[in-house]
Amino acid sequence: MKNILLALSLTSAFGLATAIGAETPSAPMNQQTRSALPEKDLQAVAPKVLAWRRDFHQHPELSNREYRTSKIVAEHLKNLGMDVRQGIAHTGVVGILKGGKPGPVIALRADMDALPVTEQVDLPFASKETADYRGEKVGVMHACGHDAHTAILMGAAEVFAKNREQLPGTLMFIFQPAEEGAPEGEEGGAELMLKEGVFKTLKPDAIFGLHITSSGPSGVAMLHSGPAMASVDSFTIKVKGQQVHGSSPWKGVDPIVTAAQIINGMQTIVSRRVDLTKAPAVVSFGAIKGGIRSNIIPDAVELVGTIRNFDEGIRTQIHAEIRLTAEKIAEANHATADVNIRTWYPVTVNDPALTQRMKPSLEKVFGPDKVIDPGLITGAEDFSFFAREVPGMYFFMGVTPPDRDYKTAPTNHSPLFYVDESALQNGVRAFVQLVQDYTSESGQNTPKTQ
C-alpha cells in the first residue's frame, strides 16, 4: 500500500474475535479440501516460501528499484518453464503458464516494493539496507508485507507449474513494482503496467490479489464486496501573500492567517457539502510549511493533504470544492491560492458477482467462520487499476501471531511491523483454491461478470 496512504482501521471488524477464533494461528483444513488441493506440492513449497520471504525481507528495494527482487522472480518463473516477460513498468515481471486443458485466463498479482522505513524488529534477517529517498539517506524495510506477497505468489506458481497438465486454462503471474507509488517525476505501478500493454495480448477473465495485515490475527481472511478500498489523491495548496514586518500586518498580505482560514473552511467540504449517505469521504491536512521568524509575516505558506473516498462522482466534487474554497478564501484575504491536486489510485472495487462466487473458496482454506467482512477501508491500493479492466477480487490475511493482541500490534508501515510466517502458507493455499474453483467445470459454466 502506498506509504502515505495506509489507513487500515479493521479493529472494529474484529470485535467478534472470540467468535472467529482469533487464538488459532491458521484454520484447520478439512479432508475434502485437502484431497482437492495438490497437498504434496503445497507441503513441498512451504519451506521455499519461507526462505524467499526472508531473503526479500533482508534485501528490500524501493519503488521502481526492485532490480534484485525482479531478477530472482524472473529466474524462478523461467526455471518453471513459463513464458516470462520482464521490464514491464521498469522492473515488473509477468509469467504465463498454459495449462494442459482448455479454460479461462486468470491473473494473480503480487507487489514487490519496500518502504523508506528503518527496521526496528529484532530478527536474524532484519533489513540493514539503506537508499537515497527524496535527497536523504534512509533505511529500507518491507514494512507492508510485499516480501510475503512476492514469496506467496512464487510458491503458488511452483505448485501450478508442477500440475500444469491438470490445469484448465492459462495463468498470468503478475509481479508488480511501485505499488507504494513511483518516485517523483516517474511513472510506475499497475497503471504503468497497463499503459505498457500487460493485458493487451492476453486479457484475463478475472484477477485476484491479497494483502497481509497486522490488523487481524493469523488464520483470518477479510473480504468486502463492491467498493472495498478508497480512492486516494493528494493536494498541495500554495497560499501567496506579501511579506511584511509582523508589527504592521496591514502593510502586507498575511498568508498564514489565510491558510488557517482555508484549513477551517475545507472542514465543511465533507461535513456540509458531500452527501455522505452515498459514501464516506475524508479530507485531511498532513503538512503546513511557511515562515521562519516570529516577527516576519512570510510571502507564502504551503499546505499538503490527502483525499479519500469511495465514489467517483463524489471524488470529482471534492476536487472542485477544494479549489473553490481555497481560491475564494484567498481572494477574500487579498491573497492567492495555487491548488494542485494529484490523482493517485481509484476506488478498489471487488466485483460483486466474482466475490460472491469465490468467497466459498476462501472459506475452504481459512474456515467458514474466519472469512469476515472488514467493512470499508480508507487505505488505497493500485490493484484498483487492474480491477477496472477486468473483474477483480482483493482480500486481506491477518498475520499477527496468536500470542499477541492484533488490536495493539504495530501496523503496516511501522518500523515494528511483524509477520507471523505460519500464516504465509494460507496465502499459497488461497491462490491455489481460487484458481481450482474458478476453473472447475461448474465455474466455467458460470456467466462471466461484466
Q: Which residues are catalytic?
A: 345, 421
Q: Which of 169, 100, 86, 180 is nearest to 133 (CA)?
A: 180
Q: Which of 273, 96, 116 is nearest to 174 (CA)?
A: 96
Q: Residues 108, 156: contact at Cβ < 8 Å?
A: yes
Q: Strands, DSSP E only, in 178-222?
A: 206-217, 221-222
The DSSP letter of residue 205 is S
- The backbone region for 127, taken as left when phi is positive above 0, alpha when psi lies in -120 to 50, beta otherwise, is beta
Residue with cell 503480487: 110
**Strand, helix or coil at 118?**
coil
Q: How far is CA 433 from the centre of its chain?
A: 22
* DSSP conformation letters of 354-380: HHHHHHHHHHHHH-GGGEE----B---
- R_g over Cα of the chain: 24
Residue with cell 535527497: 135
Residue with cell 491477518: 398
For residue 386, the one-letter residue type is: F
Cell, residue 319: 476536487
Q: Residues 103, 88: contact at Cβ < 8 Å?
A: no
CB neighbours of 135 closer than 8 A, spacing ≥ 6? none
**Strand, helix or coil at 247?**
coil
User: Does an H or E element contain 45, and which?
Assistant: helix 39-58
* Exposure class string for 400-432: b at 16+ Cβ within 10 A, else e: bbbeeebbebbbbbbeebbbbbbbbbbbbbbbb
Cell, residue 329: 478564501
Residue with cell 514494512: 143
